Amino acid sequence: MTAWHVAQINIARFTLPKDDPANAGFMTALDPVNARADTAPGFVWRLIGDGNDAIAIDAIPDDPNVAVNMSVWTSIGALADFVYRDAEHLAIMRRRREWLDVIRVYQALWWVPAGHVPTVAEGMEKLAELERNGPTPAAFTFKQPFDAPDGTPAFPVLDECA
């Protein structure tokens, strides 16, 4: 087991106020999708505000339409499996343009020591760092991941004979 976990932040900006009835499809999916994340292999932690989600947390105080999501996983592979292979999560991702504006840099990943719980401020800084510098070991993307600080591969090669 590695001493490092991967943290992720993603933000979204609703085209209408968060509580607008037009966003009901997104809002009603939060609890079921979060429940699936909570029990997914490799899940460690997720940001929770009022209720069972992070919708009420103001990541950008001057923009109340921005929603933040943060979580920690045992590996990039475990996170990727949930993000890109969970049917309920994929269903919402496919419909995101119904509710959300396009944001150029909306997600960042970074390594944290096992047991570390990142803050929203830390996550927002990782997004800003990624926007300023592109992918680096300090803040990266699924497309351009970096190995953990202890050398654990970002995506380990599996032994096909095992």
The answer to whether residue 142 sits within a structural domain is no
User: Which structural domain range is residue 112 located in?
Assistant: 4-133
Per the CB < 8 A criterion, the answer to whether 32 and 39 are in contact is no
Look at residue 89 and tell me if it is in a domain: yes
Counted domains in the chain:
1
The Cα 113–Cα 72 span in angstroms is 10
Query: Does the pLDDT at position 158 exceed 80?
Result: no
| Average pLDDT score over the chain | 92
Residue 162 domain-assigned (yes or no): no
pLDDT, position 156: 67
Q: Which CATH number characterizes residue 94's domain? A: 3.30.70.100
Residue 143 counted as domain residue:
no
Nearest-angstrom CA–CA distance, 86 and 91: 9
pLDDT of residue 155: 82
Backbone angles phi, psi at 20, to 5 degrees: -65, 140
Kind plus residue range of the DSSP H or E element containing 113: strand 107-113
| 83 in any annotated domain | yes
- Residue at 108 is within a domain: yes
Q: What percent of the chain has pLDDT over 70?
A: 95
The answer to whether 108 and 68 have CB atoms below 8 angstroms apart is no
Residue 160 forms part of a structural domain: no
In this predicted model, what pLDDT tens digit does every residue of 83-105 receive, in sequence order?
999 899 999 999 999 999 999 99
b/e string for 12-47 if b means 16 or more Cβ within 10 A? bbbeeebeeeebeebbeebeebbeebeebebbbbbb
- How much helix, strand and coil, in percent to the nearest 5, is found in the chain? 35, 20, 45
- The whole-angstrom distance between residue 138's C-alpha and the CA centroid of its chain comes to 16
Q: Is 60 a member of any domain? A: yes
